[in-house]
Structure 1
Amino acid sequence: MDRNRSKDASEGIAPMGIQALNETVLSNQPESRYECPVCLNWLRDPVITTCGHKFCKSCITSWLQNSGHCPIDNINLSMKVDIFPDNYTKREIQEQRMNCPFSAKGCTVKVTPLDLDAHISVCEYNQPETSTQPEIKVPCSFQAVGCKELFDSQEDMNQHVQSDVQKHMSFLMNAYSEMKINNDMSNASMDAKEQEAMTLWEAPNKDGDQSSAAPLNNTSALIRALYERVVVLEQRNREQDIVIANMSKQISAFAMAKMKQNNDMLLRYCMGNYIWKVDNFKQRLDAMLKDHYKMLYSPGFYTSPNGYRFCLRLNVSPQNPQCFALHVHLMKTENDECLEWPFNGRISFAMINQYNPDMTQRDTMMSNSALVAFRKPTAEICVRGFGYTEYAVISDVVRNGFVKDDVLVIRVHIKCV
């Protein structure tokens, strides 16, 4: 689109029930002729309007109760004279048959699209996948001296160590006896000083102080002291692990809370000057081109700490699929009762050219107090938006330097007057 050509800002509507692009897209999506534009699902009890659009009966009934016009082209409609049952489409949908999503596991059932969800809930093949990875076992800490027990978790192993004291003492005594016999055979003439050191060694008590007991001079006492020391050290190690784990959780929670607080502060104190960085742009653009009812919304930002709150909406233009549409929407705040309505101000857009700043596309528009888009919101986000239905040609945005490292940058400045 020519950047120098003037564009007229207008009020636009975001259909209810639209999915955000970061939501999971279900499999077995309907063709566009069988899809309701409001709920984006298979048509249920399909009806057709005098303007030629098809909807679920419940969806269009709820919509007209709130707005009174067609969600697609804004033509005024009446449930009594402008809505008719579409039995032909209903028969076509009932004749459709779909394979069960678990057909790869052996399910041979084929059902109509409207019965698919009910079948999935009772399908005998809807079972969680079992892991093919070998199960990792935790060995006993006394494995080196002969205990061959394996456990599913560290907690189970710790329980085993605490409960089988006598068994592990036997392993220690056997290991020590074998070691002593081998040492006697290979070192028949032990140094006198070494023998003296062996008789003088004594294990510390559980409080960490040196024991005042007599020097250990027999195998049984030494094994008992060794085991007592092992138990004390393991207990301390478990206590330290618990303390470290709790501290790590607290630090992670604090970091997440701090990050959220910083983001909220930036949005509240940006004074209406917000920079929206649309990441993963290629993937998001492909999704919007595939389904023109998908839209991107920015986080809500404020014109002042206690002022109006807005967000941006970017989507493929319903009037011209070759162009982007860009609108602002008012959002609810805790201070709406204290603000003046309707909103009056100047709104400036700038789509940043990240390779050549001189080619940045800039547009400015003034609010219109007669439009619903600038009245006090009655929902979390006002259904009516204000902006450009044909803001920029999609191919120009992709090719001419507006996207860098898969990120599109749009700056908006909203100033009250």
Structure 2
Amino acid sequence: MDTPRTKNASEGIAPMGILSLNEMVAEPESRYECPVCLNWLRDPVITTCGHKFCKSCITSWLQNSGHCPIDNINLSMKVDIFPDNYTKREIQEQRMSCPFASMGCSVKVTPLDLDAHIASCEHNQPQTSSQCVPCSFRVLGCKEQFSSQEEAQEHVKRDTMTHLSYLVNAYSEMKITNDMSNANIDPKEQEAMVLWAPDKDGESKPPSLTNASALIRALYERVVVLEQRNREQDIVIGNISKQLSALTVAKRKQNNEMLLRYCMGNYIWRIDNFKTRLDAMLKDHSKMLYSPGFYTTPNGYRFCVRLNISPQNPLCFALHVHLMKTDYDECLEWPFNGRISFSMVNQYEPELTQRDTMMSNSNLIAFRRPAAEICLRGFGYTEYAVVSDVVRNGFVKDDSLVFRVHIKCV
């Protein structure tokens, strides 16, 4: 690997539907996911070779290629594509809670209707105020105030345990107050107190033998009531813990998306569990690894990196970049024009890091505006590095392989 060798940048095509490294929690189950757009199946159809797609996705795909994106079997829209009404009914029976459920929205909709509901949800409103913003746990005892809603939300996320304590105390006080308002004292407790009441001198005496069994029964029933209350509190705390876990996952996902959007075209791709992933690619050369999509600027071009076994030379890796669709593509200049740099980091001897640079080619489809979520054609090296050299020469450390990618518009 330390001997320089010439590599020619070329355009390569990437089959869709290959497992990506940036799987997310909210993604659909694999049986409900379209291998082309990687979203919920819309108007699902099934092919004669047994694969499911969105009708619009497979129609667009076959217009360009004429074969199945999964196994490359030739397909015809007229004779090989059939509506999958069973899967369509299953998806329509799925129900998802509104993301604003914590703000009072109780609506549950199908996955395909969720985006439309979010856009029209009455709880999807920005909260602004020119005055001090109190903590949302104010009624439970938190006295903190803030100058903006963002600071208040950060406070709620940061002081989780304190607010949880407020909530548990409030719940306990509420139960006690309700018990006292419904009856001055619990009937079972009152029965026990009567059976073991103090005499005029203020000294408690054991109950008579005739009342002993009644006292034991009353105490037992009182213990049962207390245990039931304890279980109810455990359920409440368990539900709160689940909500906190969901908030933590959502926050981590948001942070990752922010890093990808504001990396300014400088992205470090760490491939963990590399040995397992490599073994899978060596057994099935159609398997490929994709990085998360990262941006050249916050509202600029979006790229991802693909690593796979070279179809021309099974002893080598192929490395390509792919353009991805964004919400601001209509504001960008097409085709993309810029410089693309790869660095495969040698984690034991950094001076042996492999570096390569290539310029875009405006005549290639790979740099035109993407028509799908990810451009079908990539640009890079079909024989980037010898597999055995990558494994043997210090590029893999702690079962991780690291690439540094820099994409700059010119």
Amino acid at match of 2:303: F
Q: Deviations over 1:324-375 (max 9, x none)?
A: 1100000011111111111111111000000000000001111111111011
Deviation at 1:394?
A: 0.9
Secondary structure, counterpart of 2:251 in structure 1? helix
- Matched with 1:368 is 361
- Matched with 2:4 is 4
Q: Is the 8 A contact 2:265 2:407 kept in 1?
A: yes
Amino acid at match of 1:5: R
Amino acid at match of 2:186: K
Separation (CA, whole Å) in 2 of partners of 1:242 and 1:16: 44
Separation (CA, whole Å) in 2 of partners of 1:21 and 1:269: 20
Deviation at 1:61?
A: 11
Separation (CA, whole Å) in 2 of partners of 1:208 and 1:222: 9
- Matched with 1:407 is 400
- Matched with 1:206 is 186
Q: Deviations over 1:356-401 (max 9, x none)?
A: 0000000111111111101100001101101111111111101000
What does residue range 189-338 of structure 1 map to in structure 2 within 5 Å?
205-206=185-186, 213=194, 214-215=197-198, 217-218=207-208, 219-338=212-331
The reply to whether residue 352 of structure 1 matches residue 332 of structure 2 is no
What does residue range 83-162 of structure 1 map to in structure 2 within 5 Å?
none
Separation (CA, whole Å) in 1 of partners of 2:334 and 2:61: 25
Q: Is the 8 A contact 1:344 1:416 kept in 2?
A: yes
Q: Is the 8 A contact 2:18 2:288 kept in 1?
A: yes
Amino acid at match of 1:339: L
Figure out how many residues of one structure are paired with residues of the other and give that number.
256
Larger CA deviation: 286-295 vs 368-377: 286-295
Amino acid at match of 1:234: E
The reply to whether residue 396 of structure 1 matches residue 389 of structure 2 is yes
The structure-2 alpha-carbon separation of the partners of 1:8 and 1:376, relative to structure 1 and needing over 3 Å to count, comes to same
Secondary structure, counterpart of 2:239 in structure 1? helix
Separation (CA, whole Å) in 2 of partners of 1:350 and 1:253: 36
Q: Is the 8 A contact 1:347 1:364 kept in 2?
A: yes
Q: Is the 8 A contact 2:322 2:377 kept in 1?
A: yes
Separation (CA, whole Å) in 2 of partners of 1:375 and 1:390: 24
Separation (CA, whole Å) in 2 of partners of 1:237 and 1:64: 61
Amino acid at match of 1:6: T
- Matched with 2:179 is none
Separation (CA, whole Å) in 2 of partners of 1:238 and 1:63: 55
Aligned Cα RMSD in Å? 3.6
- Matched with 2:13 is 13
Q: % of aligned pairs identical?
A: 78
Deviation at 1:217?
A: 2.3
Separation (CA, whole Å) in 2 of partners of 1:19 and 1:232: 52
TM-score, scaled to structure 2: 0.56
Q: Is the 8 A contact 1:317 1:389 kept in 2?
A: yes
Separation (CA, whole Å) in 2 of partners of 1:209 and 1:288: 69
Deviation at 1:242?
A: 1.6
Deviation at 1:306?
A: 1.0
Separation (CA, whole Å) in 2 of partners of 1:350 and 1:3: 15
- Matched with 1:137 is none
The structure-2 alpha-carbon separation of the partners of 1:368 and 1:236, relative to structure 1 and needing over 3 Å to count, comes to same
Larger CA deviation: 222-231 vs 390-399: 222-231
Secondary structure, counterpart of 2:320 in structure 1? strand
Separation (CA, whole Å) in 1 of partners of 2:348 and 2:64: 45
Separation (CA, whole Å) in 2 of partners of 1:11 and 1:62: 21
Deviation at 1:251?
A: 1.2
Amino acid at match of 2:266: N
Q: Is the 8 A contact 2:291 2:306 kept in 1?
A: yes
Q: Deviations over 1:67-119 (max 9, x none)?
A: 489x9xxxxxx99xxxxxxxxxxxxxxxxxxxxxxxxxxxxxxxxxxxxxxxx
Q: Is the 8 A contact 1:21 1:284 kept in 2?
A: no
Structure 2: state its 5+ residue gaps.
Answer: 24-28, 31-47, 50-57, 76-183, 199-205
Secondary structure, counterpart of 2:7 in structure 1? coil
Separation (CA, whole Å) in 1 of partners of 2:225 and 2:300: 61
Separation (CA, whole Å) in 1 of partners of 2:255 and 2:59: 43
Separation (CA, whole Å) in 1 of partners of 2:8 and 2:327: 32
The structure-2 alpha-carbon separation of the partners of 1:392 and 1:208, relative to structure 1 and needing over 3 Å to count, comes to farther
Deviation at 1:3?
A: 4.5
Larger Rg: 1
Separation (CA, whole Å) in 2 of partners of 1:288 and 1:232: 60
Q: Is the 8 A contact 1:273 1:411 kept in 2?
A: yes
